[in-house]
Amino acid sequence: MTSPASAARRTVRVDLGERSYDILIGPGLIASAGAEIGARLKGCRIAVVTDEHVAPLYLEPFLSSLADAGIEAVSQVLPAGEKTKSFEHLMTVCDAVLGARIERGDAVVALGGGVIGDLTGFAAGIVRRGSRFIQVPTSLLAQVDSSVGGKTGINSRHGKNLIGVFHQPDLVLADTGVLDTLSPREFRAGYAEVAKYGLIDKPDFFAWLEKNWRDIFSGGEARIEAIATSCQAKADVVAADERETGLRALLNLGHTFGHALEAATEYDSARLVHGEGVAIGMVLAHQFSARMNLASPDDARRVEAHLKDVGLPVSMDAIPGGLPPVEVLMEAIAQDKKVKSGRLTFILTRGIGQSFVADDVPASEVLSFLKEKHPR
């Protein structure tokens, strides 16, 4: 794969019939948000939801871009971090949207990372039985993954993302300029989801990442190329299987283990964030595939080496503060949304870029594998 000639704005279309939408990718999109939104959603008012880290950096520029385009807006700022994906904050967002008399034809905007996107999208999906929704993702993770595809929701004490709806956005504005203020830890976490697309079914993209990841971290054309490639990969899967009846489950590579680890660390972002859980989960998925004689252990070592190179955690013992016993992880795994008739479904692999959906994975095998890997 070669780098593009210029870092100009890119557009990826998510093809879903009457619910199709564009993902605009490039620098300066917050400054031109008013014009982009005004051109598509004529005469709408807007409720913007953001978090306390993003608000001081980007709320005012976003609101003034709307004001310049003659769009009236209200805003709601929430605490940052995974714990915000809760009923309490869902209620706050619904109250703010209704209190501002945002109508169905108006729009609810998520300005922030995946936490704000998932929560706000859920609120937009249920307020007035479905309101228009715009994603303005500000983290790498949100730009390459969570802002696309319409999965929205909150966490439950029974597990991650267990309460939510599918609700597609009408537009995604991914301003790549804002990624310069993201912490290195959060940038790395988002990178795990970028690498995921290579590991699912794009071995050439994974090899390109192994070579070019430093350029992605430092910004410029390689970063935009990686974001656009990721969005296109996700858009293709979502267009083929919007509601995860089959193929879309591939996007869950590393997530069955990762979500169990997030639940086990009580969604404490100081200990583990989603992308870190996915990084550890993808290494575990490759190691488990090797243990089941589906793939070579060399592939698992290659995945581990690359994620370690970029500075991501690659094993459970990298999680600070210890973990509950394996049986607790197994309980979270049993609540995974891919479980069918009580049988576990995992995304396993035959090698780099050869992932597949494995139904009916024996729980006993998973348990003994996790016992080997658990730091105790």
Ligand X SMILES: NC(=O)c1ccc[n+]([C@@H]2O[C@H](COP(=O)([O-])OP(=O)(O)OC[C@H]3O[C@@H](n4cnc5c(N)ncnc54)[C@H](O)[C@@H]3O)[C@@H](O)[C@H]2O)c1
Ligand Y SMILES: O=C(O)C(=O)C[C@@H](O)[C@H](O)[C@H](O)COP(=O)(O)O
The residues that are catalytic are 129, 151, 193, 234, 244, 248, 252, 255, 259, 274
Q: For ligand X, which is the closer residue by CB, 151 or 223?
A: 151
Give the C-alpha distances (Å, rounded to integers) separating 154 from 118, 167, 207, 267.
7, 13, 34, 11
Q: Pattern of binders to ligand Y over 166-195, x per CB under 6 A?
A: ---------------------------x--
| Interface pick for ligand Y out of 50, 75, 131, 161 (rule CB under 6 A) | 161
Q: How far is the CB of 275 from ligand X (least distance, A)?
A: 6
Measure the CA–CA gap between 25 and 12, rounded to whole angstroms.
8
**Residue 376 CA from chain centroid, whole number:** 29
Measure the CA–CA gap between 127 and 124, rounded to whole angstroms.
5
CA dihedral sign of residues 238, 241, 245, 246: negative
Q: How far is the CB of 62 from ligand X (least distance, A)?
A: 12
Q: Pattern of binders to ligand Y over 104-143, x per CB under 6 A?
A: ----------------------------------------
Q: For ligand Y, which is the closer residue by CB, 179 or 279?
A: 279
Measure the CA–CA gap between 338 and 245, rounded to whole angstroms.
10
Count, residues near ligand X per rule CB under 6 A = 32
Using CB under 6 A as the binding rule, the residues of this chain from 102 to 141 that contact ligand X are 112-116, 118, 138-139, 141
262-267: long-range contacts (C-beta < 8 A, 24 or more apart)?
262/82, 262/160, 263/155, 263/159, 263/160, 263/332, 264/323, 264/324, 264/328, 264/329, 264/332, 265/319, 265/321, 265/323, 267/81, 267/82, 267/83, 267/85, 267/155, 267/160
Measure the CA–CA gap between 282 and 300, rounded to whole angstroms.
9
Residue nearest to ligand X (CB): 114
Q: For ligand X, which is the closer residue by CB, 79 or 320?
A: 79
With CB under 5 to 8 Å by kind, the binding choice for 300 among ligand Y, ligand X, none is none
Q: For ligand X, which is the closer residue by CB, 145 or 299?
A: 145
149 binding ligand Y? (CB under 6 A): yes
Using CB under 6 A as the binding rule, the residues of this chain from 62 to 81 that contact ligand X are 80-81
82 binding ligand X? (CB under 6 A): yes
- Whether 166 and 151 have beta carbons less than 8 Å apart is answered as yes
What residues form DSSP beta bridges with 340? 343
Residue whose pair of structure tokens reads 């970028």 in the numeric block? 194
Using CB under 6 A as the binding rule, the residues of this chain from 134 to 163 that contact ligand X are 138-139, 141-142, 145-146, 149, 151, 161
Measure the CA–CA gap between 250 and 355, rounded to whole angstroms.
7
- Whether 24 and 36 have beta carbons less than 8 Å apart is answered as yes
Using CB under 6 A as the binding rule, the residues of this chain from 321 to 340 that contact ligand Y are 337
Q: For ligand Y, which is the closer residue by CB, 202 or 255?
A: 255
Give the C-alpha distances (Å, rounded to integers) separating 297 from 263, 302, 307, 350.
28, 9, 16, 10
189 binding ligand X? (CB under 6 A): yes
- Read off the DSSP letter of residue 106: S
Q: For ligand X, which is the closer residue by CB, 190 or 351?
A: 190
Binding site annotation covers 254? no
Q: How far is the CB of 226 from ligand X (least distance, A)?
A: 16
Task: Return residues touching ligand Y (CB under 6 A).
Answer: 145, 149, 151, 161, 193, 244, 248, 251-252, 255, 337
Binding site, annotated residues for Zn(2+): 193, 255, 274
Task: Return residues touching ligand X (CB under 6 A).
Answer: 51, 53-54, 57, 80-82, 85, 112-116, 118, 138-139, 141-142, 145-146, 149, 151, 161, 178, 181-182, 186, 189-190, 273-275
